[in-house]
Structure 1
Amino acid sequence: MKAKKNIQYLLGGLCLLLVNMSCNKLDEEPYSSIFTDNFYQTASDAEAALTAVYGPMVNIYNTAGTGASDFSADQIYPRPVVGRDTYTLFSYDPNYTTQKSFNRQMESPQQIWQYAYSGIEKANWVLLRVPQTNMDTARRTVILGEAYYMRAFYLWTLTKNFRDIVVKTTPSTSLDTAIIGKTMQADVFKQIYQDLDQAVAKLPSYSANIQKGRPSKEVAMALYAKTALYAEDWTTALNMAKQVLSSGKYSLMPDVLDVYNVAREDAARQENMWAFECESTSPGFSTQIISLYGPKNSDGPQYAATSFGSAFAYQSFYDSFNPADRRRLLLDTFYINKQGQVVHQKDITPITPKGVLVKKYMDPNSVGGSGATNIPILRLADVYLIAAEASARQNGPSTESYDYINAVRNRAGLPGLTAGLGKAQFVDSVLQERSWELFGEGDRWYDLTRTNTFMQVIPKAVNDVFPVRMPQPKNRYFPIPLDEINANPKLEQNPDWK
């Protein structure tokens, strides 16, 4: 029965109580056709099915979507509790043994695997059934565009974490059709390209009319550019990034601090192109990331009503910033407690006198740990840096390359880089700029793994809490969860984890 139950993540779309966005149980005999034949009849059915496609993001971004990667990298470290510090120490195993408790499981790559495939299954049903639904044709086109985009996003999320993955482009109508083998990463990228071609063709350009949390044509192009960066397809990455930048639909916020100001969330959408949208209302979607960052015992009311002091920035990362860099203000070495007193760095955390607080996810009006600060997934600053890197890797540093990176540096209050850097030096500068710009957003680890530099970088990112960190080559990608391999006889573990 355990193996059968695990298949629910491939058969997630079969349990079409779609308004609830998930299924809790899978009987021995799949009953997909009964539901899908009687569903997708009306426009409201199609809308409900599309809403369900977004549902698994709640589980992914509760913690794992940023935590598993950020705790592995060189910017952020967790309080060393069992299950959370395994990413920092690279001590996890294919069974994710220490993550089996409920709280730690939410931070596990296993969560990413399970719920990304749940989202893919739901997207596949939309793409199969909605074309026959009786509804407005223009709206149908957009729904299909969003489904293609979301399938591409879930595939991209999976391949950057696990490399070679199962590519599923049709819904599972039986256990036999659910059980298939892996696809090599190069072909995963091709499938993502195909899906994003459809998304770009069907989605509208950005406007204020697009519902929060839904992608625009330009968002699809941005994901296309980032996928191409990971695929080392510099021509495509540069072309797609240029189309986003030249569209004029998005712009950098004048002050980088406003990107993370919960009170300016709507205005920040001019830069924050696509995000996991959080809410402080109940019922509503949120993430425990908001409560992990912030002082212990909810002592800093400007951070959140409930915070645990569970994640901090390395002192070495804080020290790497130019003091004039406004992005350094998104980190802090003191806070004001509930009594209005200044709490200095040595007292911020009981685990080290050098804890640095992260301020990107502050919501003083949170309801408990549920805040309204969104988690950025694609930002325009990221697109500028993709363009800078792709341009330099393709043609060497050019005026164009410098213009792209300097747009981000200048907004941060820094002088632009001056011409004269060699290709390797310029690319290193872009990667460093990405580290400063995108820290805490679940991005840095993947920059280190896609460039295969993590083995050199991580051993230097240590402190008195984690004085030794020794990743191995196999840690470039997470192991496929053993539960999934046991459930699918055609699924093989990543070679480095066998």
Structure 2
Amino acid sequence: MNMNNKIKSFFLIFLSLTVLGSCESELDLQPEDNRKVPGQLLDDSAAYKQFLAKLYAGLAVSGQEGPAGNPDLLGLDEGFSQYMRLYWMLQELPTDEALIGWNDGTIADLHGQNWTSGNEFIRTMYSRILYQIAQANEYIRQSSDANLSANGIEESEMAEIQQFRAEARFLRALSYYHAMDLYGNPPFITEDSPVGAFLPEQIQRAELFDYIESELLDIEGKVVAAGQNEYGRADQAAVWTLLAKLYLNAEVYTGTPRYDDVLTYSQKVIDAGFTLVDDYQKLFLADNDVNGAQNEIIFPIRFDGLNTNSYGGLTFIIHASVGGDMDPEEFGVNSGWAGLRTTPEFVSLFPDGADSADEREMFYTEGQSLEINSISSFTDGYAVGKYKNVDVNGNQGSDATGEHVDTDFPLFRLGDVYLMYAEAAFRTNTNMSQAVDYINELRERAYGEGNGLISASAINNNFLINERGRELYWEAHRRTDLIRFNRFTENGVWAWKGDVPQGTTTAPYRNIFPIPASDLGVNTNLTQNPGY
């Protein structure tokens, strides 16, 4: 995913024109490569794949040099400002699945659910999303048929570039999905928006839902067929999975449930040939791109210890979850940052006793107390050893220093699709026998052949939200899931929620994050979300 100087030059000029908040002085920037204009930068068909690589890399790295030194965004430490790290933090830290013992800025406010519109982590995720969208917009703009012709691209090369364009539209839809889910009503820009400094209009959540849906439906037949693209790139299955997730939460976003559509698009993914890996742990190891887990992973955020150096992503999660008596070498890293743990309420979702052992239960308990008397003490609360920078044979990832990791993050995988199908079947009271089969495939992998199996009578709201926790914890689903089940704010309690040791309920307006005060102060077209 490394860009050459030619592509880097392209971004220096174009991102200064497209990213929100650009100023007039930035409009005078010129590309470094002999002051070429965009057409000259993109007169080589190979440049379009390099440009596309930057869009994918934006989910994994935080600047032009790894791990720091030339950031995409200013204002927050480059490790903290990485897309996946921020998204993971906002999806996990406010829930029962994770808390962090650090006191960097306002990070503690995330688990306490007492953030304000000035929270720098909420602000930087918002900026990171809009930055990704701005880049995707520029790719889509520059890869139109008219611009390709103007740049001298041969007709024989255009078909492949149009597939790249469809992937860029998927990545934009993914970021808009994150914006809709996290912030509700963000500013809205597309390839048709003005180039230069302007104040974008705000889009309402239900309208943004319609836009994302229309984009995904339009590119469904334009991306590469399911399972036929390079690992790590979007294909039809990634589009179908995002549609299923969109429809699963439709009632939250629009007020209207769409569970029949969840069944349709989940089944498309299931029928596309993906298979569950035999060992759950393989999904979270350094070789999860080749150890069989790649057949379950539909869309990963890729990491490489040598080529995508960042203090975000899985480098953050693995290092920060190691502390106390834990041996960093066992996790394939050179040190533990001693921050991340889980709550006793989440631990209680897993059964006790050897006869009911769940292989998905990857808590580290030696030297750790179940209860959390002090958030700042790493040994208060069980640690989570789910992710490791070692392969199936225990060998460390490619970075010999143990600083950066090879483990890919499974943003979409078949296990989640099975559970989405099962939930939609339950909510519509249809296809329940199929739903039970999908759940039991997951549970048999977790409990061993013939064990842990359930019948349709066991499926209810409690079972579904708990089973999603057991299967998908620390995979950046929990906040969205709890909101859908109405258990995130006023109907859910866990340790230190609301800054109370035993936990307390919070106000329902916190189901979405605030529009950052810094953007409200600049863009008069924006209205703050209720409650903030």
Q: Is the 8 A contact 1:20 1:52 kept in 2?
A: no
Residue 140 (structure 1) aligned with residue 161 (structure 2): yes
Moved more, 430-439 or 52-61: 52-61
Cα distance in 1 for partners of 2:212, 2:344 equals 38
Residue 485 (structure 1) aligned with residue 511 (structure 2): no
Secondary structure at the aligned position of 2:103 is classed as coil
* Within-5 A mapping of 1:208-219: 210-219=229-238
Instruction: Encode CA deviations 1:321-378: one digit per residue, 9 max, x unaligned.
Output: 12434344422212xxxxxxxx565899972654212112222535444211122210
Q: Which residue of 2 aligns with 1:291?
A: 319
Cα distance in 1 for partners of 2:11, 2:429 equals 48
Q: Is the 8 A contact 1:290 1:369 kept in 2?
A: no
Moved more, 302-311 or 21-30: 21-30
Q: Which residue of 1 aligns with 2:334?
A: 305
**Aligned CA-pair RMSD:** 3.1
Instruction: Encode CA deviations 1:368-407: one digit per residue, 9 max, x unaligned.
Output: 4421112221011000111111122123572122223222
* TM-score between the two structures when normalised by the length of structure 2: 0.78
Instruction: Encode CA deviations 1:165-210: one digit per residue, 9 max, x unaligned.
Output: 223222554446x422222211211111122123321111244x63
* Within-5 A mapping of 1:70-89: 70-82=92-104, 83-89=106-112
Percent of pairs identical after alignment?
20
Q: Which residue of 2 aligns with 1:30?
A: 27
Residue 326 (structure 1) aligned with residue 355 (structure 2): no
Call closer, same or farther: CA 1:193–1:350 in 2, change over 3 Å.
closer
Instruction: Encode CA deviations 1:403-461: one digit per residue, 9 max, x unaligned.
Output: 2322222221252221335xxx5233222111111111111111112333212454234
CA drift of 1:92 comes to 1.6
Letter in 2 for 1:404: Y
Call closer, same or farther: CA 1:282–1:214 in 2, change over 3 Å.
closer
* Within-5 A mapping of 1:159-238: 159-170=180-191, 172-175=193-196, 178-207=198-227, 210-231=229-250, 232-238=257-263
Q: Is the 8 A contact 2:341 2:378 kept in 1?
A: no
2:171 maps to which of 150, 153, 156: 150
Cα distance in 2 for partners of 1:237, 1:62 equals 25
5+ unaligned residues in a row in structure 2: which ranges? 1-6, 31-35, 63-81, 251-256, 391-395
Secondary structure at the aligned position of 1:92 is classed as coil
Moved more, 45-54 or 434-443: 45-54
Residue 116 (structure 1) aligned with residue 129 (structure 2): yes
Instruction: Encode CA deviations 1:3-44: one digit per residue, 9 max, x unaligned.
Output: xxxxxxxxxxx9963499976985535359984454433212
Q: Which residue of 2 aligns with 1:4?
A: none
CA drift of 1:264 comes to 4.1
Cα distance in 2 for partners of 1:432, 1:86 equals 25
Q: Is the 8 A contact 2:10 2:41 kept in 1?
A: no
Cα distance in 2 for partners of 1:479, 1:16 equals 34
* Within-5 A mapping of 1:84-483: 84-96=107-119, 99=120, 108-132=121-145, 133=148, 134-135=153-154, 136-170=157-191, 172-175=193-196, 178-207=198-227, 210-231=229-250, 232-248=257-273, 250-266=274-290, 267-281=292-306, 284-285=309-310, 287=313, 288-296=316-324, 299-303=327-331, 304-323=333-352, 324-334=356-366, 351=377, 354-363=380-389, 365=396, 367-395=401-429, 398-413=432-447, 414-421=451-458, 426-462=460-496, 466-483=501-518
Secondary structure at the aligned position of 2:328 is classed as coil
* Within-5 A mapping of 1:9-88: 17-18=10-11, 27-28=24-25, 30=27, 35-57=37-59, 58-59=61-62, 60-82=82-104, 83-88=106-111
CA drift of 1:467 comes to 3.2
Letter in 2 for 1:50: L
Instruction: Encode CA deviations 1:137-161: one digit per residue, 9 max, x unaligned.
Output: 3311210110111011000011110
Call closer, same or farther: CA 1:185–1:325 in 2, change over 3 Å.
farther
Q: Is the 8 A contact 2:226 2:235 kept in 1?
A: yes
Q: Is the 8 A contact 1:327 1:437 kept in 2?
A: no
Q: Is the 8 A contact 1:346 1:352 kept in 2?
A: no
Letter in 2 for 1:151: R
Q: Is the 8 A contact 1:62 1:289 kept in 2?
A: no
Cα distance in 1 for partners of 2:84, 2:244 equals 26
Letter in 1 for 2:245: K
Call closer, same or farther: CA 1:347–1:197 in 2, change over 3 Å.
closer
Call closer, same or farther: CA 1:155–1:467 in 2, change over 3 Å.
same
Q: Which residue of 2 aligns with 1:102?
A: none
Secondary structure at the aligned position of 1:326 is classed as coil
* TM-score between the two structures when normalised by the length of structure 1: 0.83
5+ unaligned residues in a row in structure 1: which ranges? 1-13, 100-107, 335-342
Moved more, 289-298 or 383-392: 289-298
Q: Which residue of 1 aligns with 2:77?
A: none
Call closer, same or farther: CA 1:88–1:187 in 2, change over 3 Å.
same
Q: Is the 8 A contact 2:368 2:379 kept in 1?
A: no
Cα distance in 1 for partners of 2:184, 2:424 equals 21
Letter in 1 for 2:511: R
Call closer, same or farther: CA 1:32–1:477 in 2, change over 3 Å.
farther
Q: Is the 8 A contact 2:248 2:424 kept in 1?
A: yes
Q: Is the 8 A contact 2:490 2:507 kept in 1?
A: no
Q: Which residue of 1 aligns with 2:4?
A: none
Cα distance in 1 for partners of 2:260, 2:206 equals 16
Letter in 1 for 2:268: Q
Instruction: Encode CA deviations 1:249-298: one digit per residue, 9 max, x unaligned.
Output: x1111111111122343221111211211121155355322211111598
Q: Which residue of 2 aligns with 1:8?
A: none
Letter in 1 for 2:488: F
Letter in 1 for 2:454: L
Which structure: greater helix fraction?
1
